[in-house]
Amino acid sequence: MLEVKEIYKTFNPGTVNEKTALDGLSLKLEEGDFVTVIGGNGAGKSTLLNALAGTWFVDEGQIIIDGTDVTKMPEHKRAKFLGRVFQDPMMGTAATMGIDENLALAARRGKSRGLRGGISRKERDEYRELLATLGLGLEDRLTSKVGLLSGGQRQAVTLLMATLQKPRLLLLDEHTAALDPKTAAKVLETTNQIVNASRLTTLMITHNMKDAIANGNRLIMMNKGKVILDIKGEEKKNLHVSDLLQKFEQVSGSELVNDRMMLS
Amino acid sequence: METLFNALPGAVAQGLIWGIMAIGVYITYKVLDIADLTVDGTMCTGGAVCIVMLMKGHDIWFCMLCAVAAGMLAGFVTGILYTWMGIPPILAGILTQLSLWSVNLKILGKSNQAVSVDKYDLLVSLRNVKNVPLHKNTILIVAIFCVVIIALLYWFFGTELGCSLRATGCNPSMSRAQGINTKRNIVLGLMISNGLVCLSSALLVQYQGFVDINMGRGAIVIGLAAVIIGNVIFEKIFRNFALKLLSVAIGSVIYYIVLQAVIAMGIDTDLLKILSAAVVAIFLAVPYWKQKYFMKPVKRAGKEGQNA
C-alpha cells in the first residue's frame, strides 16, 4: 500500500541550524492499516507526514503509494492519493468560502477543474446528508462561511473533506491537539467512524499515548528521524502507557521526556 | 457648484472606465491576496496597443481585444516572476511595471499620441457623455461593459476553476492539499486582472483622446481606493460576489465624483496624488487599528466545547 524506503531529509544543511529530521526512515503499510504515530518533540513525526504529502521533496530514498512512485511528484498532484487533516484548524479549510464550497473543492481533488459549475444542487443535498452524520448541526449551515465555525467544527469539516473522495492514504497530523478535550474526543470518535466505515489506510500522529494505544491496529514510535518501535495486533491491544515509556527507554537509551505527552 | 454639476457626467464615465480597472485590482488584491503593481504599467500598455493598432487601420473591437491580450501577457510575466522565479509578488509587479515603461515607449514610438474622435471610429469619447443619441452615449456604453464583465466574472468564479482560484488566494496550503495547482492559478489570476486593466486602459485613451506614457502612474492607488471605498460603503449590504464587484465599480465612480468636487472647490491639482494616497493609507489602516485598539478580548475556553 504505502512503501517508504530509507528516506532522508536535512533542513538548513551546512548551517548551524542543520537538522536531520528524517534519518533513513523506512516504513511499510498494508491496505487498511490504521497506524498511530508517537514520539517526542522533534522526532520527525510531522516531517514524515510532510514528506509523504510532498510539501517538499526528500533528499534521498523513495516513496511509493499504491505502486506509484511519488518521490518526485509535486504536492498538488500527489494530493489525489491523499487525504490530509492538519494540526491547526485554520489550515485545512478556506475560511472565506462556504462549507458547501469547501466540500465541493475536496470532491474534485485529483480531477481536472474546468468551466463546469463549481457545485451542483445534487452535491449540496449529498453534503447536507453527510454533514448530518457528524451530529454538529452543520447541515443547516451549509452555505455558512467556514471562518465562522469553531475549531472543532472546522476539523470535522476538514475530516469530511479529506475522506469525501476515498483517499488511498489518510494523513492526520495531531488533528485533535489544538482542541479542548471534549471536542478532541468527539473529533477522534468521528475519525474512527470514518476510517472504519471505508477501511481507510491511515497514519495518525498524536501526542496522547492513550489515544495512540486506544486507536488503530498498529503503533509506531519515532525518535531522531527513525522508527524505533513498531507494535501490531494483539501486542498493541494489551499495551499500557507505562509499557510505552519503558520501551522507549530501552530502545533509545533516554527517557521519553516531553511535558505535553506526560500531561495528556 | 455649476462647474461641478457640468463635470458630473464626465466623472461618472471616467469612474466607470476606471471601475473596470479597479475590478482587475480587486481580483488580485482581494481574491488572490496579492498587491499587484504591474497595473501601473498595464494601465498604459492597453491604451498604447489600442491606439497604435487603430492608427494602422484595424477595427476598434479588434484593437481592444489585442489590448486585453497584451495585458494578459504582462500579467503572465509577473506571474512567472513570482511563481517560477520566486520573486516576492510586490517586487515581481514592480519589475514588470518598469519593463513595461520601455515596452510602452517602443509600442508608441514616442511619449504620447493623440487620437481624434472625428478621424477614427471610437467607441467612447468625452464628447459623447451628454447631448448625444442614447446608443452613442459613453456612460451607457461603459456601463454595459461593466455589467458584462461583472456577469462574466461572476460566472467564472462560480466554476470549478474559478472556485479553485478563490481557494488559492484564501488558503494556499489547503488548496495544494486538495490537488489545486496554486502556481498556475496565481498566474491565471494575474492574467485575468491585467487583461481587465488593459481593457480599461484602451477605453480610457479613447475617452480622453490620447495616450500618455505617464497615464498609468499611481493607477494601483486609484484601483485600491475604488476597492476600499466600495467595500466600506457596501460591505454590510452586498454579500454576493457579483454585487461586491459592482460595489468596486461604484466605488470608482464615487472616487471620481469626489475628485471633481475637490477640484471644483479650487484645490491645487498638484496635490491630488498625495491626497489619494493619504485617503487609501487611512482606509487601509482602519481595519488594523480596529483590531489593535478596539477589539474586545474573546472568551474561548468552554464555549467551543458546547458548540462542537
Task: Write out pLDDT tens, residues A202-238.
Answer: 999 998 888 999 999 999 999 889 998 899 888 888 8
Quote the minimal CA–CA distance from B150 to chain A in Å. 17
User: Can you tell me the distance from the alpha carbon of B30 to that of B288, in angstroms, rounded to the nearest whole number?
Assistant: 16
Q: How far is A238 from chain B (nearest CA, A)?
A: 31
Of all residues in chain B, the one with the smallest CA distance to A104 is: B160
Q: What is the pLDDT of residues B95-129, one digit of tens each?
A: 999 999 999 999 999 999 999 888 998 999 998 88
Does residue B244 belong to the interface with chain A, where contact is any CB pair within 8 Å? no
Of the candidates B156, B162, B304, the beta carbon closest to that of A151 is on B304
Query: A195 and A201 in contact (C-beta within 8 Å)?
Result: no
Q: Is A185 in CB contact (< 8 Å) with chain B?
A: no
**pLDDT grade, residue A263 (50/70/90)?**
very low
Give the mean model confidence (pLDDT) for residues A99-104: 96
Q: Which residues pair with B196 in a beta bridge?
A: none
What are A116-126's pLDDT values in tens digits?
Answer: 999 999 999 99
Select from B158, B174, B301 the Cβ nearest to the Cβ of A91.
B174
Q: Tell me whether residue B68 is in a domain.
A: yes
The domain tally of chain A equals 1
- Does residue B86 sit at the A interface (CB-CB below 8 Å)? no
**pLDDT (tens digit, 9 = 90+) per residue, A5-44?**
999 999 999 999 999 999 999 999 999 999 999 988 888 9
Distance from CA of B46 to the nearest CA of A (A): 27
Q: Where are the alpha helices (DSSP H) in B56-171?
A: 60-83, 89-108, 138-156, 160-170
Residues of chain A with C-beta less than 8 angstroms from the C-beta of B156 = 115
- B-chain residues near A136 (CB < 8 A): 307-308
Asked if A179 lies within 8 A of B304 by C-beta distance, the reply is yes
Average pLDDT, integer, range B275-284: 88
Helix (H) or strand (E) holding B5: helix B2-26
| B301 has pLDDT over 60 | no
- Whole-angstrom distance, CA of residue A158 vs CA of residue B307: 16
Residue A105 to residue B163, Cβ atoms within 8 A: yes
B275 grid coordinates: 491626497
Phi, psi of A34 (to 5 degrees): -120, 100
Residues 139-168 on A with a CB inside 8 Å of B are 150-153, 156, 161
For residue A109, the chain B residues in CB contact (below 8 A) are 178-179
Burial of A201 (0-12, 13-18, 19+ CB in 10 A): buried
CATH of the domain at A131: 3.40.50.300
Kindly state whether B177 is in contact with chain A, defined as any CB-CB distance less than 8 angstroms: yes
pTM equals 0.91
Hey, which residues does A65 pair with through a beta bridge? A2, A68
User: Which domain range does residue B184 map to?
Assistant: 2-295
Q: CB-CB: which of A117, A156, A187 is closest to B158?
A: A117
Q: Which residues of A touch B304 (CB under 8 A)?
A: 150-152, 179-180, 183
* A110 contacts A166 by C-beta, under 8 angstroms: no
pLDDT of residue A204: 96
- Establish if B306 belongs to a structural domain: no
Residue from the list A97, A136, A180 with its beta carbon closest to the beta carbon of B170: A97
Q: Which residue has the higher pLDDT, B302 or B221?
A: B221
Q: SS3 of A62, please?
A: strand
Q: Which chain B residues have a beta carbon less than 8 Å from that of A160?
A: none
Q: Which three cell numbers stand for residue A242?
A: 507505562
For the ranges A46-50, A53-57, B155-159, B294-298, the lowest mean pLDDT is seen at: B294-298
Say if B304 falls within a structural domain. no
Q: Identify the burial level of B115 via C-beta atoms within 10 angstroms of its C-beta, where 0-12 means exposed, 13-18 middle and 19 or more buried.
A: buried
B201 within a domain of the structure (yes/no): yes
Determine, yes or no, domain membership for B308: no
SS3 category, A125: helix
Residues of chain A contacting residue B154, judged by C-beta atoms under 8 Å apart: none
The answer on pLDDT for A103 being more than 90 is yes
Contact at 8 Å (CB) between A85 and A158? yes
Q: How far apart are CA B249 and CA B23, in angstroms?
A: 7
Average pLDDT, chain A: 91
ipTM of the complex: 0.90
Domain containing residue B33: CATH number: 1.10.3470
The structural domain count of chain B equals 1
pLDDT (tens digit per residue) in B44-92: 999 999 999 999 999 999 999 999 999 999 999 999 999 999 999 999 9
